[in-house]
């Protein structure tokens, strides 16, 4: 079903003018990234985390610089010092907050509320920073979203999602994608995103079904062991070593099963929503973006990546990261209207985005 | 025109702030760089010091930013590196990042320093943090914890005054012999309610014993004193502060490395750190048990009194569980055995 759906989506979008549809590609390799990665990890560890800011710059430069559209790569421009300052501010606030929470609980709660009030502003700063340190063909991206939209997308959205046990998640997804997508600029030209709630719900149903079915299986297994669990609780059975061991095994198994179910459902949903949202995005009112990830394949790559990373004690992480980047890039494309060369000849950077990122600090960590 | 310099690399040139690109060549013009288009016309130029050449990362395109804001971009990384090397500029980080057998040494160094940080640097930082923590911190922490517990689970003790006094006398006897002295502790009796037979210590030396524990002990005051000696151990070894700092330090390290290992692996590390902190908690319990034995020996009381308490727990509450990796305390039978062994050892040494 998944395969058929994405195939048809791809069909309708590429049918128009096939020669003007261009996919992203990823030109990096696990072998090359391994060296960058292990040096990052080593320097981060021996500097007790301080180098992590510079590590992030090298990692992002590698991944942006290998993301290629029309033969040209993206570029990441942030400097380690900027990222370090942003992190130090957040870190100092967290320490201050925890100290206050210990000594003067009331003041601690006030600080937490203050932080929540500041979250939308921090999100705006973070998104703007991420956009402005990203360039393609010598032109920077920019982000023009306001605090109100960030509040709706990143405070109201998650809250209603939790309160409705996930039923309103698609609404929250629509808000956040629309907020980010419609406030993104590239050289004075705007992106516009308006994914419909109906299409997001269509991919939400699959994830909801995975969760319901998974929970039903866990409940069934739990029911089979119900007698043992109850006997232990009312004390009628003396807990022997064997039962104790099987209880722990059951607990661990149940925990892993629960995490896997929600993890897989989240992966399916993430890929589905990305497809819907990107495919509902235009640049400059006419160039159509496309995402045609297969949800099953995306989840498979993410899950096997994690397993391989864990089994190799992290050493295969570079391979896993490159594998995922390649898959996602190759299933992302743009359908250009008109002559691409002429279009890029005319795009020029807005003055405001240039240089001003040096005044910015990275509020919250957002990558594109 | 191209004769007045040597070609370094071929690439694309962008005017300042424009996505328009022109196929071009980067030229070494003696004191600086020059960019020429295919017809040999100069597009821009700048001295070596004024042109910012980006650091190499893998094989991603190299950028040379000129003072007029224009940009030359090339994928010809190696020729740029050779040119910079001739000028005496090499990137040490990139040199180490290259895929080379030397990376095996980097991997080993990473594993070793990871283990060293976890085993030595984190505990050392925890010790420093404990040392510089002013005494007011555990005081306020304890006061607010006790207040919260009094409001939620604990109730006023219903124990008879003479029973309380008897325990207080026994407690004063061991507290006097501890490093902090009698004034370093305050013993409180509370009705335990939901937490049942229990005793616990707050970091400033406030000890709480529940009525349920006293009732469980019956006439065996010695046993209660043994349990209190265990709690004195927690206070003197500063277990609470250590545990807080340790958890914070490990969480910080995991967070710093999170970007490089992916969110899934980061979650697993966080869970793993949780399991490891449980093992730390079990080690702390065992240390406090040994402290109890030592203190009781010093006070010429029965060092195995606390073991009787574990006997009771086993009999009355049916707690005979083995040590589990998911528990904060070691298994009861194991603790009893460790205490008896240690008491025997101390006795043998004393003779």
Which SS3 state, helix, strand or coil, does residue A26 take? strand
A288 has a pLDDT exceeding 50? yes
Residue at B128 is within a domain: no
CA atoms within a 13 Å half-sphere pointing along the CA-CB vector of B276: 13
Of B82, B16, B9, B77, residue with least CA distance to B44: B16
Of A151 and A95, more confident: A151
Residue at B150 is within a domain: yes
Residue B117 CB coordination number (10 Å): 20
Helix axis angle, A30-46 to A52-65, nearest 10°: 170
**Least confident range of A195-204, A327-336, B276-285:** B276-285
Q: Which residue of B has its CA nearest to A31?
A: B99
The pLDDT, as a whole number, for residue B38 is: 87
The percentage of residues in chain A with a pLDDT greater than 90, rounded to a whole number, is: 44
The pLDDT, as a whole number, for residue B159 is: 86
Contact yes or no for B311/A229 (Cβ under 8 A): no
CB contact under 8 A, B322 and A37: no
Looking at B97, B112, B142, which one is the last position of a domain? Answer: B97
**Least confident range of A127-136, B65-74, B232-241, B262-271:** B262-271
Maximal C-alpha separation, chain B: 108
Residue at B110 is within a domain: no
Indicate the average pLDDT of chain A: 83
Q: What is the domain range of residue B59?
A: 6-97
Shortest alpha-carbon distance between residue B172 and chain A (Å): 30
CA distances in angstroms from A125 to A137, A144, A190, A308, A357, listed in the order given: 24, 10, 19, 36, 10
Residue A269: CB partners within 8 Å, gap ≥ 6? Answer: A169, A203, A204, A206, A207
One domain, residues B175 and B284? yes
One domain, residues B246 and B346? yes
State yes or no: ipTM above 0.85.
Answer: no
The pLDDT, as a whole number, for residue A234 is: 57
Helix axis angle, B239-261 to A30-46, nearest 10°: 160
Closest in B12, B106, B140 to A38, CB measured: B106
Got the DSSP string for A313-326?
TTTTHHHHHHHHHH
The answer to whether A75 contacts chain B (CB < 8 Å) is yes
Q: Which residue of A has its CA nearest to B57?
A: A62
Contact yes or no for A325/A11 (Cβ under 8 A): no
Preferred mutation among B58, B108, B123, B240 to probe A, highest tally of A CBs within 10 A: B58
A183 has a pLDDT exceeding 90? yes
CB contact under 8 A, B268 and A45: no
The answer to whether A65 contacts chain B (CB < 8 Å) is yes
Mean pLDDT of B299-327: 75
pTM of the model: 0.81
Q: B97-114: per-residue pLDDT in tens?
A: 888 888 888 899 988 998
Contacts made by residues B294-300, CB under 8 angstroms, sequence distance 24+: B294/B346, B295/B174, B295/B177, B295/B178, B295/B229, B295/B232, B295/B233, B296/B174, B296/B225, B296/B226, B296/B229, B297/B343, B297/B346, B297/B347, B297/B350, B298/B174, B298/B177, B299/B173, B299/B174, B299/B177
A228 pLDDT tier (thresholds 50, 70, 90): low
B320 has a pLDDT exceeding 60? no
The answer to whether A46 contacts chain B (CB < 8 Å) is yes
**Least confident range of A13-17, A301-305, B180-184, B303-307:** A13-17
Mean pLDDT of A50-74: 93
The percentage of residues in chain A with a pLDDT greater than 70, rounded to a whole number, is: 83
CA distances in angstroms from B240 to A1, A58, B185, B246, listed in the order given: 55, 39, 15, 10
Bridge partners of residue B191, in order along the sequence: B155
Indicate the average pLDDT of chain B: 84
| Residue B34 CA to its chain's centroid (Å) | 52
Residue at B125 is within a domain: no
A355 pLDDT tier (thresholds 50, 70, 90): very low
Contact yes or no for A102/B138 (Cβ under 8 A): no
Mean pLDDT of A30-58: 90
CB < 8 Å from B in window 339-358 of A: 344-349, 354
Closest in A27, A41, A241 to B322, CB measured: A241
Mean pLDDT of B126-148: 84
Preferred mutation among A83, A138, A341, A362 to probe B, highest tally of B CBs within 10 A: A138
A69 pLDDT tier (thresholds 50, 70, 90): very high
Shortest alpha-carbon distance between residue A174 and chain B (Å): 23
B154 has a pLDDT exceeding 60? yes
One domain, residues B65 and B195? no
The answer to whether B108 contacts chain A (CB < 8 Å) is no
A24 has a pLDDT exceeding 90? yes
B4 has a pLDDT exceeding 80? no
One domain, residues B342 and B207? yes
**Strands A139-143, A184-186: parallel, antiparallel or unpaired by DSSP?**
antiparallel
One domain, residues B165 and B294? yes
A251 pLDDT tier (thresholds 50, 70, 90): confident
The pLDDT, as a whole number, for residue A184 is: 93
A292 pLDDT tier (thresholds 50, 70, 90): very high
- Domain containing B90 — which CATH number? 2.30.29
One domain, residues B229 and B92? no
Mean pLDDT of A177-200: 92
One domain, residues B85 and B160? no
CA separation for the pair B74, B57 (Å, rounded): 13
The pLDDT, as a whole number, for residue A1 is: 37
A15 has a pLDDT exceeding 70? no
One domain, residues B201 and B344? yes
**Least confident range of A17-21, A200-204, A295-299, B261-265:** A17-21
CA separation for the pair A363, A78 (Å, rounded): 13
Dihedral, B152, B159, B224, B240 alpha carbons, nearest 10: 20
Residue at B127 is within a domain: no
Helix or strand (DSSP H, E) at A84? helix A80-103
Q: A97-148: per-residue pLDDT in tens?
A: 777 776 666 777 787 788 777 888 888 888 888 888 899 998 989 899 889 9
CA separation for the pair B315, B335 (Å, rounded): 15
Question: Which three-class secondary structure string do you get for chain B?
Answer: CCCCCEEEEEEEEECCCECCCEEEEEEECCCEEEEEECCCCEEEEEECCCCEECCCCCCCCEEEECCCCCEEEECCHHHHHHHHHHCCCCCHHHHHHCCCCHHHHHHHHHHHHHHHHHHHHHHHHHHHHHHHCCCHHHHHHHHHHHHHHHHHCCEECCCCHHHHHHHHHHHHHHHCCCCCCHHHCEEEEEECHHHCCCEEECCCCEEEEEHHHHHHHCCCHHHHHHHHHHHHHHHHCCHHHHHHHHHHHHHHHHHHHHHHHCHHHHHHHHHHHHHHHHHHHHHHHHHHHHHHHHHHHHCCCCCCHHHHHHHHHHHHHCCCCCCCCCCCCCCHHHHHHHHHHHHHHHHHHHC
Which SS3 state, helix, strand or coil, does residue A24 take? coil
Shortest alpha-carbon distance between residue A300 and chain B (Å): 14
Of B48 and A115, more confident: B48
Of B242 and A227, more confident: B242
CA separation for the pair A348, A188 (Å, rounded): 7
The answer to whether B119 contacts chain A (CB < 8 Å) is no
B25-57 in b/e form (b: 16+ CB < 10 A) is bbbbbeebbbbbeeeeeebbbbeeeebebbebb
A237 has a pLDDT exceeding 50? yes
The pLDDT, as a whole number, for residue A4 is: 41
Tokens describing residue B328: 């904060």
Contact yes or no for A208/A261 (Cβ under 8 A): no
B311 pLDDT tier (thresholds 50, 70, 90): confident
Residue at B229 is within a domain: yes
The pLDDT, as a whole number, for residue A353 is: 44
What are the domain boundaries of chain A? Answer: 2-358
CA separation for the pair A358, A78 (Å, rounded): 9
B317 pLDDT tier (thresholds 50, 70, 90): low
CA distances in angstroms from B136 to B129, B142, B342, listed in the order given: 14, 10, 35
Shortest alpha-carbon distance between residue B128 and chain A (Å): 15
CB < 8 Å from B in window 246-275 of A: 248, 251, 263
What is the number of structural domains in chain B? 2
The answer to whether B124 contacts chain A (CB < 8 Å) is no
B31 has a pLDDT exceeding 70? yes
Closest in A28, A36, A239 to B97, CB measured: A36
The percentage of residues in chain B with a pLDDT greater than 90, rounded to a whole number, is: 9
Helix or strand (DSSP H, E) at A22? strand A21-23
CB contact under 8 A, A137 and B21: yes
A49 has a pLDDT exceeding 90? no
**Strands A25-26, A67-69: parallel, antiparallel or unpaired by DSSP?**
antiparallel
């Amino acid at each position: 079903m998944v395969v058929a759906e994405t195939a048809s989506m791809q069909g309708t979008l590429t049918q128009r003018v096939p020669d003007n549809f261009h996919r992203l590609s990823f030109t990096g390799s696990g072998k090359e990234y391994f060296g960058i990665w292990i040096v990052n990890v080593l320097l981060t560890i021996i500097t007790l985390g301080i180098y992590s800011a510079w590590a992030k710059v090298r990692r992002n430069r590698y991944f942006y610089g290998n993301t290629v559209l029309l033969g040209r790569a993206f570029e990441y421009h942030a400097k380690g010092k900027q990222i370090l300052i942003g992190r130090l501010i957040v870190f100092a606030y967290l320490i201050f907050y925890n100290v206050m929470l210990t000594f003067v609980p009331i003041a601690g709660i006030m600080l937490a509320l203050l932080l929540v009030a500041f979250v939308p502003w921090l999100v705006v700063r973070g998104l703007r920073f991420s956009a402005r340190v990203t360039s393609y063909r010598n032109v920077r991206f920019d982000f023009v979203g306001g605090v109100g939209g960030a509040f709706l997308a990143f405070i109201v959205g998650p809250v209603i999602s939790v309160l409705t046990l996930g039923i309103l998640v698609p609404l929250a997804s629509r808000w956040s994608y629309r907020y980010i997508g419609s406030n993104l600029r590239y050289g004075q030209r705007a992106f516009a995103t308006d994914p419909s709630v109906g299409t997001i719900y269509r991919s939400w149903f699959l994830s909801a079904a995975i969760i319901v079915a998974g929970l039903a299986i866990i409940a069934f297994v739990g029911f089979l062991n119900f007698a043992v669990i109850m006997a232990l609780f009312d004390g009628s059975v003396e807990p022997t070593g064997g039962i104790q061991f099987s209880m722990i095994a059951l607990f661990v198994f149940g925990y892993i099963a629960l995490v896997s179910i929600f993890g897989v459902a989240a992966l399916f949903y993430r890929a589905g929503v990305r497809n819907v949202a990107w495919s509902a995005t235009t640049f400059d009112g006419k160039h159509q973006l496309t995402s045609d990830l297969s949800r099953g394949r995306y989840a498979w790559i993410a899950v096997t990546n994690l397993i391989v990373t864990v089994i190799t004690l992290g050493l295969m992480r570079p391979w896993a990261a490159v594998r995922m980047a390649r898959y996602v890039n190759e299933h992302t494309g743009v359908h250009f209207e008109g002559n691409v060369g002429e279009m890029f000849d005319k795009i020029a950077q807005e003055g405001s985005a240039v240089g001003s990122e040096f005044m910015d600090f990275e509020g919250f960590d957002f990558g594109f | 025109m191209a004769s007045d310099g040597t070609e370094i690399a071929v690439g694309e040139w962008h005017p300042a702030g424009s996505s328009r690109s022109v196929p071009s060549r980067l030229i070494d013009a003696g004191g600086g760089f020059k960019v020429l288009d295919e017809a040999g016309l100069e597009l821009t130029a700048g001295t070596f010091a004024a042109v910012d050449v980006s650091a190499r990362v893998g094989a991603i395109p190299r950028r040379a930013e000129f003072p007029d804001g224009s940009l030359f971009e090339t994928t010809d990384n190696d020729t740029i590196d050779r040119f910079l090397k001739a000028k005496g500029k090499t990137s040490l980080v990139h040199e180490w990042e290259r895929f080379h057998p030397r990376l095996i040494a980097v991997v080993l160094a990473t594993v070793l320093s990871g283990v060293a940080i976890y085993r030595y640097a984190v505990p050392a930082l925890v010790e420093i943090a404990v040392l510089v923590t002013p005494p007011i911190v555990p005081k306020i922490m304890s006061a607010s914890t006790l207040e919260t517990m009094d409001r939620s689970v604990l109730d006023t003790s219903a124990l008879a005054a003479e029973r309380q006094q008897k325990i207080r006398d026994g407690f004063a006897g061991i507290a006097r012999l501890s490093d902090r002295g009698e004034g370093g502790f305050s013993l409180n009796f509370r009705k335990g309610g939901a937490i049942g037979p229990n005793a616990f210590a707050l970091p400033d030396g406030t000890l709480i014993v529940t009525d349920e524990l006293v009732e469980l002990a019956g006439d065996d005051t010695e046993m209660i004193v043994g349990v209190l000696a265990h709690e004195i151990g927690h206070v003197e070894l500063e277990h609470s502060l250590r545990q807080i700092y340790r958890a914070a330090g490990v969480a910080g390290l995991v967070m710093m490395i999170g970007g490089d290992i992916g969110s899934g692996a980061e979650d697993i590390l966080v869970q793993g750190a949780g399991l490891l902190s449980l093992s730390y908690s079990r080690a702390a319990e065992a240390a406090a048990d040994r402290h109890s034995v030592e203190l009781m020996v010093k006070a010429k009381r029965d060092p195995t009194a606390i073991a009787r308490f574990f006997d009771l727990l086993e009999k009355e509450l049916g707690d005979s569980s083995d040590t589990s990796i998911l528990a904060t305390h070691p298994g009861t039978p194991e603790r009893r055995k460790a205490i008896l062994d240690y008491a025997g050892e101390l006795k043998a040494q004393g003779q």
